Structure 1
């Protein structure tokens, strides 16, 4: 089986109301972590903003009936209850009828872009991609074999996570590499030496978590 990361650019007519409001709020990213069965419409998400900013982002969404906010991990977790998902009907129907499985998180970014990972057989993934492109601008960012490895336990601070995310965005981990530490520093608005240190420490935590070895005490 294959694991594919899709980048999807939603037009305002198909985007969730929360997603459309990201451009106007103090929150720039939302990560949908868990979602309930279609008939309960209960989700758990993480936002890169304060509880107050998240409340301001979500309150105007009319389908939301209740929100519970908990600060954590450099942002805010939100348990959200809705009367309907409010994603554009063509895309929602496509997701419900597809022959692939979707993995959390689904990441929503300011500007209308979302990133989602799907797992399935190549023919079904290709079919999903083709059907998706009939409604939105969707590109394939990454393709890999799917493995049933558990998620490695890692301890990455929010700032190091931000640096790693910036490095991915600027192409620092592309093969061949298309971005530099200086590019990461520009994204973070910090010195190149600081960006380099954040990347090294973040990478070290990821590798230790992946191989399952604790940090050696000096």
Structure 2
């Protein structure tokens, strides 16, 4: 099997749902399951982020009437429905179903129609990028998919083709965005913004917490948990244990 990947990039103002992701950098989405036939595309997506970002996301999908970043690539009117399967303060799990039709074909339909049975898709969305990964047989021809994507994306969208990877481990793949909770991601963003990881260090955790009016213990905990989660996602449990022990032995900054 081989993985093919491409990224669709959106300019601000061309897609009402994508604008929510652009305006809320802490918001992200990834597919849990995605299927398409000649007549229908249906999928389950997990959307995570801060409460205000998810509230904005909820408002848009309640009134969505045209193909958007999660529904297709044409921007035309659509017949679709959605159901909230699970929700809490920082996440949503959403089932959606879209009727396929001439002029408004979804990316999953395009892939399935070009490559046939046995194809799996993953999609991740954050900021202005919508990243698709396709797992298919080694000998499939992707040129037709690439050509149709390039020709039919509406104004304000562009596509780039990223890489071809042989036999990827989809079962264990997890991006940093999926690894971190919104509060952990925000803590790391603050640490980076204020130079915590620079050499020499520009600000300590205590100084960053004071500037941002956050309890030092809270910020320290979130940064530690975020670092631990990222290390574990890349190197596994053993590396995480080593990092935790090293942090415990190090003096507090």
TM-score (norm 1): 0.60
Aligned to 2:46: 46
Aligned to 1:4: 4
**Alpha-carbon shift at residue 151 of structure 1 (Å):** 2.0
Q: 2:236 aligns with which of 200, 208, 215?
A: 208
CA distance 1:153–1:140, shift in 2 (3 Å): closer
Aligned length: 193
Aligned to 2:160: 139
Q: Say yes or no: does 1:103 pair with 2:121.
A: yes
| Unaligned stretches of 5+ residues in structure 1 | 167-181
Q: 2:58 aligns with which of 55, 59, 71?
A: 55
**1:1-218 alignment, distance < 5 Å:** 1-9=1-9, 18-19=17-18, 22-23=21-22, 28-38=27-37, 41-49=41-49, 50=51, 52-62=55-65, 63-68=79-84, 70-71=86-87, 75-84=90-99, 89-90=104-105, 92=107, 94-99=110-115, 101-104=119-122, 106-111=123-128, 113-120=129-136, 121=138, 124-136=141-153, 137-147=158-168, 150-151=171-172, 156-158=179-181, 162=185, 185-186=192-193, 191-192=196-197, 200-206=227-233, 207-208=235-236, 215=241
User: Contact (CA 8 Å) 2:4, 2:165: kept in 1 or not?
Assistant: yes
**Alpha-carbon shift at residue 156 of structure 1 (Å):** 4.0
Q: 2 CA distance for matches of 1:161 and 1:143?
A: 31
| Unaligned stretches of 5+ residues in structure 2 | 66-78, 206-221, 246-253
**Alpha-carbon shift at residue 125 of structure 1 (Å):** 2.5
Aligned to 2:71: none
**Alpha-carbon shift at residue 198 of structure 1 (Å):** 6.7
Output the aligned Cα RMSD. 4.7
User: Contact (CA 8 Å) 1:25, 1:53: kept in 2 or not?
Assistant: no
CA distance 1:148–1:208, shift in 2 (3 Å): closer
User: Contact (CA 8 Å) 2:228, 2:240: kept in 1 or not?
Assistant: no
